[in-house]
Chains A and B, each alone.
Chain A
Amino acid sequence: MKLSVFKAAAVALVLGATPAMAQDRLLNVSYDIARELFEALNPVFVEKWKADTGRDVTIEQSHAGSSKQARSILEGLPADVVTFNQETDVMALADGGMVAENWREAFPNGASPWYSMPAFLVREGNPKNIQDWSDLARDDVQAVFPNPRTSGNGRYTYLAAYAYGLRANNGDEAAAQDFVREILSNVPVFDTGGRAATQTFVERDIGDVLITFEAETRQIAAQYADRGLVAITPPVSLFAAFPVAVVEENTDRNGTTELANAYLNWLYSPEAQRILAESHNRVIDETVKAEFAGEFPEVELLTVEDVFGGWEQVMEQHFGSGGILDQVFVN
C-alpha cells in the first residue's frame, strides 16, 4: 500500500503532474435506501483504484426515489453512474439520450450486479402459516405492501402476485386478475413507499405479512430482532433487477468514462459481491454464491420479459390509466 503511494508520487514527479490532477471524482446517483450499502462498498473501491492506478478517487453519493433521480439527471444532475432499483428509470434515461440504448448489454446479467425478489416478512412464529402467494388470498390474512400506483416496490409485488396467479391458473388472465384482486382487497393500508409500509407493519403492528424485497425482509428482521419477525422467501417469485449504467452524456464531458466503467465492473468482482451478499442481496459470482449458499433458500424466479413481454408492455397494459391495475384495484 505504502509502496504504491511512493510509486504514484514518483510517477507524478516524473510526469510533472500536479497532485490535483490525480484527483478523480465520481457521482453515483442511487435509490433511496442504498446509502449504507454504498457506504460499505465505496471505500473498498477507492482503495483498489488507488492500488491499480495510483490515483485518488472521491465517490459522491446521491440517494432519493429512483424515478425522481432519473428526472433530476434528465434536468442536469451531473451523475456519472446510476445504480437504481427500477429498470424503467434507466429506460427513461436511455429515452432521454443520457444512457446508451443497449445499456442492458454493457454489463453482465442484464446490467444487474445483484438482484432480489418480492418476499414475505411474517410475525413471530408465523402464526398464520404464510408460505406462498396463495396464502395471501386467504380471508384471514392481511398483507401490507406499498401502493403499486406510487411505488416501484409495490409494482413488483403486484406483478409477482399476478405472475403467480397466471401460472396457478394455466395462463388464464381472468383468473389471475381475480387472484390479485383478492390479495389487494386484503390490504388494510396502502402506503406510498416501501419504508412507510415497513413502518406500518413493524411500528403500528398492522397486518400479518409485509411484502417487500427479500434483502429488505432480512434486514428488517435483523433490525428488529427483539420482535421475532421471520423472513420467508416463497418458492416462486419475480426477478427484480438492480440495474446499473454509465451516464455517458455526463462522463464524456467530465472525462470519467473509464473510471465509471471500472467502478460498475468492480461491482461484479468477488470482493464487491461479498459485501452485497452480506447485505442479503442475491449475487451472481459463483464463488461468493457458494460461500453464502446456506443463506438463501432455493427460489424459482419468473421474469417480466417471459411473463409479461417486457417492461414497456407492462407499463402500458397494467399501469397505464384504465389498465389492468385500475380494474383490479377496488379501493
Chain B
Amino acid sequence: MRRVLIGTAALLSAVFIVVPLVYIFVQAFSAGWGAYVANILDPNTLHAIWLTTLVAIIVVPVTIAFGIAASWLLSKFVFPGRGLLTTAIELPFSISPIIAGICYLLLYGRQGLLGGWLSQNDITILFALPGIIMVTMFVTTPFVVREVLPLMQAQGPDQEQAAVTLGAGGWQVFRRVTLPNIRWALLYGAVLCTARAVGEFGGVAIVSGSIRGKTNTLPLHVELLFNDLNVVGAFAASTVLTMIALVVLIVKTVLERRG
C-alpha cells in the first residue's frame, strides 16, 4: 500500500512538474545555443527581465515590512475589527488577480473614479510602473502575513513582555526577540512572495498596457512571443523565469542551512 502511494506521488510529480520543467529547457535549446542567446539578448527581452526584477525588488521588501507590521498588530494586540482586518488582508488570496486588475482600471482609469483628478495633476498610475507595482502588491500582500501570523499567534506576547520588563526598548525587543522567532516563517513568506511577484500575469496584463521595452513584464513577454509563433523565444524567456525561481529557492535553502 505504501509503495503504491509513494509510486503515485512520484509519478504525479514527474508528470505535472518535472517533465514540463525539463521540456521548457529542451524547447528553448531546440534551435541551438546561438538562437537561445540571440533571443535572450533581444533588447525587449532584456528589458522585460529587468522590469520584472525591478518590480520584485520594490514589491518584496514592502510586502515583508507590511507583513511583519500587520502580523505584529494582529497577534500581539486586541482591538475591535481585528477579525475584519485579518479577513481583508487575506482577501487577495481568494480573489482572481484579473479582478484586482479590473478594479484598478475602474478606479484609476481615465474614465475611473480617480481618473479625472489624477490626469489633472499629471499623475500616471495605469499603463506605467506604478500600476504594475500596485497590482503586484495587491496580489502578494497575504504571503508574508499568512506565514508569520500563525507563528506569532502561537508564540503569544509572553517573550516580548518579559523583554520589556527586563528593560528592553521597542526596537530591541523586535530585533532580539520577535525577529529571531519568526525568521523562518518570514523567509518562507518572502520566497513565496518573490515567486508570485515575478510570475504574476493576469492582473498585470490588465494594467500594464504591454508597451514593449517599457511596461512589458517577463510573463507578458512570454505570452507575446508565444502568440508570435516564436516558440524558441517564448521558451527561452520562460527559462529565465524558471531560473529566477530556482535561484530564489536555492537562496532559501542556503540560508536555512546557515541558520
A binds B: yes
| B212 CB contacts on chain A under 8 angstroms | 35, 60-63
Is the Cβ of B229 less than 8 Å from the Cβ of A75?
no
Q: Known pairs A35-B228, A63-B210, A76-B127. 6 more at Cβ < 8 A?
A: A32-B227, A33-B228, A62-B211, A74-B109, A75-B105, A76-B110
Instruction: Provide the A97-129 mask, 1 if CB < 8 A to any CB of B, else 0.
Output: 000000000000000000000000000000000
Shortest C-beta distance, B205 to chain A (Å), equals 8
> Which residues A207-260 have CB closer than 8 A to chain B?
220, 223
A75→B127 CA distance, assembly (Å): 9
From A35, A61, A76, B115 is in contact (CB under 8 Å) with A76
A220→B205 CA distance, assembly (Å): 27
Known A-B contacts A62-B212, A63-B212, A64-B210; the reply to A78 vs B127 at CB < 8 A is yes
| A140 CB contacts on chain B under 8 angstroms | none
B20 at the interface (CB under 8 A from A): no
| B109 CB contacts on chain A under 8 angstroms | 74-76
Instruction: Provide the A174-192 mask, 1 if CB < 8 A to any CB of B, else 0.
Output: 0000000000000000000
- Which residues does B use to contact A, with CB under 8 Å? 105, 109-112, 115, 119, 124, 126-127, 205, 209-214, 224, 226-229
Pairs A–B under 8 Å by Cβ, sample size 11: A27-B211, A29-B209, A32-B227, A33-B227, A60-B212, A62-B211, A74-B110, A76-B127, A77-B127, A195-B226, A195-B227
| A76 CB contacts on chain B under 8 angstroms | 109-110, 115, 119, 124, 126-127
Is the Cβ of B112 less than 8 Å from the Cβ of A75?
yes
| B213 CB contacts on chain A under 8 angstroms | 60
A36 at the interface (CB under 8 A from B): yes
A32→B226 CA distance, assembly (Å): 11
Known A-B contacts A76-B110, A77-B209; the reply to A60 vs B127 at CB < 8 A is no
| B119 CB contacts on chain A under 8 angstroms | 76
A72 at the interface (CB under 8 A from B): yes
Is the Cβ of A75 less than 8 Å from the Cβ of B110?
yes
Chain B interface secondary structure, helix, strand, loop or mixed? loop
4 tightest A-B CB contacts, nearest first? A75-B109, A76-B110, A77-B209, A77-B127
| A61 CB contacts on chain B under 8 angstroms | 211-212
Between B112, B210, B226, the greatest number of chain A beta carbons within 10 A of the residue's beta carbon is seen for B210
Is the Cβ of B227 less than 8 Å from the Cβ of A60?
no
A96→B111 CA distance, assembly (Å): 10
Shortest C-beta distance, B228 to chain A (Å), equals 5
A76→B206 CA distance, assembly (Å): 12
A60→B110 CA distance, assembly (Å): 21
- Which residues does A use to contact B, with CB under 8 Å? 27, 29, 32-33, 35-36, 60-64, 72, 74-78, 96, 195, 198, 220, 223
Is the Cβ of A60 less than 8 Å from the Cβ of B228?
no
Is the Cβ of B115 less than 8 Å from the Cβ of A75?
yes
Shortest C-beta distance, A40 to chain B (Å), equals 13
Shortest C-beta distance, A27 to chain B (Å), equals 7
A74→B115 CA distance, assembly (Å): 11
From A63, A74, A75, B224 is in contact (CB under 8 Å) with A63
| B210 CB contacts on chain A under 8 angstroms | 62-64
Between B112, B127, B224, the greatest number of chain A beta carbons within 10 A of the residue's beta carbon is seen for B127
Is the Cβ of A60 less than 8 Å from the Cβ of B224?
no
| B209 CB contacts on chain A under 8 angstroms | 29, 62, 72, 77
Shortest C-beta distance, A66 to chain B (Å), equals 12
Known A-B contacts A74-B111, A76-B109; the reply to A60 vs B211 at CB < 8 A is yes
| A195 CB contacts on chain B under 8 angstroms | 226-227, 229
| A223 CB contacts on chain B under 8 angstroms | 229
| A72 CB contacts on chain B under 8 angstroms | 127, 209
Shortest C-beta distance, A43 to chain B (Å), equals 13
Is the Cβ of B224 less than 8 Å from the Cβ of A77?
no
| B214 CB contacts on chain A under 8 angstroms | 60
| A35 CB contacts on chain B under 8 angstroms | 212, 224, 228
A223→B205 CA distance, assembly (Å): 28
Between A75, A195, A220, the greatest number of chain B beta carbons within 10 A of the residue's beta carbon is seen for A75
Shortest C-beta distance, A320 to chain B (Å), equals 23
| A64 CB contacts on chain B under 8 angstroms | 205, 210
A223→B213 CA distance, assembly (Å): 26
Shortest C-beta distance, A199 to chain B (Å), equals 9
